[in-house]
Amino acid sequence: MESLRNFLTGPRLMIVVAVCALPFVFLGTSSLSNVFTGSYGSINGEDVSESDIQIAANTAVQRFKNIYGESFDFDELDEDLRSESIKQELIVQKVLQSGARSLGFINDISVREAQKGIIRSPQFQIEGRFDESVFEAQVNSNGFTKEGYLNIMTNLYATEIYRDSLSKINFVTDEEINILASLLEQSADIKFTKISYSELKDQVNNTLEELIEYYENNEIDFYTSERRGFKYFLLDQSDYRDLVEVPENYIELAYKDYISNFEASAEIRFSHIMIEKGNYVEDDEALEAIKTIESKLNSGESFESLASQFSEDIITKDSGGDLEYFEKDIFPVEFDNAISSLGLNDISEIIELDETYHILKVTEYNKQNPIPEQQIKDELLKELIDTESFALMNDDFSELDDMLMANNSLEEIAETVSKDLLSSELYSEADYEFEITNEEIKAFLFARETQLNSPIALEISDRVIFIAMDRIEEPLLKEFDSVIDEVGESLSEIKAIEKISLLQNELDSIKNIKDKESFINSYDYITNESYVDVKRYSSLLPNEVLSQIFNEKKGTEISAVANNRDVYSINLINFNKLTEEELLNIASEYNDFAVDRSVSKMQEIINEDVFQNAKVNLNNALQL
């Protein structure tokens, strides 16, 4: 066993706790319902499996949520953008995994840390305690063995540690902070002419003849949307609950197992003093060193003090040898044997491992009362019914899925499980509001390749919907009278855009200042203004216009179009810098921002390097 001094604790452990849920979240547990054993190619020598793609997809989703909020719907992005985001995450994931492997980050230590993360992950706990049966049920239902899931978590943990070690830069110089503050706090003196699009458009007049002509020439813009409907039926896990047969004595036996496991589940926090054999010429010298420490303990000296002085575990010595809470799956069996006979504040005899000697001390001993018997039995029964009803539903799903593959009709498939077909309303893409909220249903219904009466099955949490499009209402040209306002709005927009272009050209051609002022004053939707000391993030002008201003040089004349279609002709008179005193007063406010910017820049550099050096060899069959 490698030295316990290499244990990684604190924030780094939280990484693996956080990533434990990646294969199960965002895209639904059903997304990992198949066992992913095949390879889709390789990236930097690392095989790419379907589970890698799933994890990359879930990570990509989370990154978008981190930016845009938890309500962000990844499925509403353009398909090409979704695919590219997942592919980029997959490349980063595999290149970093390759780097982690080459540096030896994937080792016994990372395995143990992955085990600790799994044990501490709330999704595998009952009442705050790790439950082996819950863990096994979770990973099995998502297509993994326990060993396979641990292997994935180990790779993810090592990859995240490697990523973190590359980007963990939190140092910037005073000069960098001053430069950043000076750049962002500078202001501009400008003169500009603005043509207001909305005010100009409000003055546009359209005759009835013009409206009719525009309508007739642009009929394609005034058709109703195509509407589609579908027939469907549902397999619902709740429909199978009454079919579950509870084996005789199952609850009683399961409860006995719970009690047996509970009695051995006391939380024990412990510390150690370690001597590493490899630090001595002979093992006997190491033994003498640990015996000397044992003698000091027997003389009444403080365990924590001796650990700080003599322990050769550089990670834990400064905390008095603290190893946190004991976990059977993480620490060696020799520790288990020793701790089982110790009470609170008891100290063990010397323990010999292959490479180290240890003395242990129990520092906390917390044993809670078991959950009431009836509550546990109710939970055991619910767990059994949930598991078995899901299995029964999957049995039917498997049979019906075979019928889909054999091109059976939706009516034939529904009849096999005695289900009545239901019919949806007609929907366009704009007014789609089916009672089951799921983007996959909408995507199927409105996909170009979807054919009439060609059924598919979609897994939705604890349900499966079998669906086939059965109706299409073709677009129809709307009557002119029903869309006259829409026609007028479109025609006014075109006229306003053309008018702005003509006005801009005419303004640019007038060189005499008085003539230009006279021209401007003849239109109430054209204004001429001067602003002094305008900041980069001022509310006086649109952000996109300000951004263009602060990317130009003093004395430049620019044209800018705002997002609302207002047009600006701007003369950049001057840029005003902060004085040294002003800079000194404000620079401290930019320290955290400068650090974040530095870390962000380092991440960009790492990602650029990753993509430049990635050796991508994916199969053509890979469709993201």
Q: What is the pLDDT of residue 48?
A: 86
Q: What is the pLDDT of residue 380?
A: 86
Domain boundary (312, 346, 366) is at 366
Residue 559 lies in a domain: yes
pLDDT-above-90 percentage for the chain: 46
**Who wins on pLDDT, 55 or 619?**
55
Q: Could you count the other beta carbons within 10 Å of the beta carbon of residue 400? A: 23
C-alpha 298/C-alpha 304 separation (Å) is: 14
Domain residue limits at 414: 227-247+376-473
Name beta bridge partners: 526: 195
Instruction: Report residue 228's pLDDT band, with 50, 70 and 90 as the boundaries.
Output: very high
HEC assignment per residue over 309-325: HHCCCCCCHHHCCEEEE
Q: What is the pLDDT of residue 168?
A: 59
Dihedral sign computed on CA atoms, order 393, 396, 400, 405: positive
Residue 599 lies in a domain: no
Residue 68 lies in a domain: yes
Helix 108-120 to helix 11-19 angle, to the nearest 10 degrees? 70
pLDDT-above-70 percentage for the chain: 85
Beta strands in 107-250 (DSSP E): 125-126, 129-130, 187-195, 227-236
| Closest to 132 measured CA to CA, from 75, 121, 44 | 121
348-393 tens-digit pLDDT: 999 999 899 999 999 987 766 677 888 888 888 888 898 899 999 9
170-219 tens-digit pLDDT: 666 777 777 777 777 889 999 999 999 999 999 999 999 999 999 999 99
98-121 average pLDDT score: 84
Q: Order of strands, edge to edge, in the sheet holding 39-43?
A: 46-49, 39-43, 616-618
Q: What is the pLDDT of residue 620?
A: 52
Cβ atoms of residues 466 and 410 within 8 Å: yes
For residues 166 and 193, state if they share a domain. no
For residues 64 and 151, state if they share a domain. yes
325-349 tens-digit pLDDT: 887 777 888 998 898 888 889 999 9
For residues 486 and 555, state if they share a domain. yes
Q: What is the pLDDT of residue 450?
A: 94
Instruction: Report residue 10's pLDDT band, with 50, 70 and 90 as the boundaries.
Output: very low
For residues 112 and 196, state if they share a domain. no
Domain boundary (366, 386, 409) is at 366
Q: What are the tokens at 624? A: 């993201």
Instruction: Report residue 13's pLDDT band, with 50, 70 and 90 as the boundaries.
Output: very low
For residues 21 and 166, state if they share a domain. yes
**Who wins on pLDDT, 556 or 130?**
556
Q: What is the pLDDT of residue 486?
A: 96
For residues 348 and 392, state if they share a domain. no
For residues 134 and 38, state if they share a domain. yes
Q: What is the pLDDT of residue 106?
A: 87
Q: What is the pLDDT of residue 70?
A: 80
| Closest to 440 measured CA to CA, from 421, 463, 422, 408 | 463
Q: Which of 115-124, 289-298, 554-563, 613-622 has the lowest mean pLDDT?
A: 613-622
CATH number at residue 326: 3.10.50.40
**Who wins on pLDDT, 167 or 302?**
302
Cβ atoms of residues 43 and 624 within 8 Å: no
User: Is 0.85 surpassed by the pTM of this model?
Assistant: no
pLDDT of 278 > 50? The answer is yes
Domain boundary (422, 455, 473) is at 473
For residues 25 and 143, state if they share a domain. yes
For residues 149 and 65, state if they share a domain. yes
Residue 598 lies in a domain: no
25-55 tens-digit pLDDT: 433 333 333 333 345 788 888 888 888 888 8
Provide the domain count of the chain.
4
pLDDT of 161 > 90? The answer is no
pLDDT of 11 > 70? The answer is no
Helix 11-19 to helix 146-167 angle, to the nearest 10 degrees? 130
Q: What is the pLDDT of residue 120?
A: 78
448-484 tens-digit pLDDT: 999 999 999 999 878 999 999 999 999 999 999 999 9
For residues 56 and 139, state if they share a domain. yes
Q: What is the pLDDT of residue 593?
A: 62
Q: What is the mean pLDDT of the chain?
A: 84
Residue 506 lies in a domain: yes
The residue with tokens 């509403």 is 76
Residue 527 lies in a domain: yes
For residues 95 and 124, state if they share a domain. yes
Q: What is the pLDDT of residue 265?
A: 58
Helix 591-613 to helix 146-167 angle, to the nearest 10 degrees? 120
Highest mean pLDDT among 148-152, 397-401, 609-613: 397-401
For residues 107 and 193, state if they share a domain. no
Name beta bridge partners: 617: 42
Residue 310 lies in a domain: yes
Residue 286 lies in a domain: yes
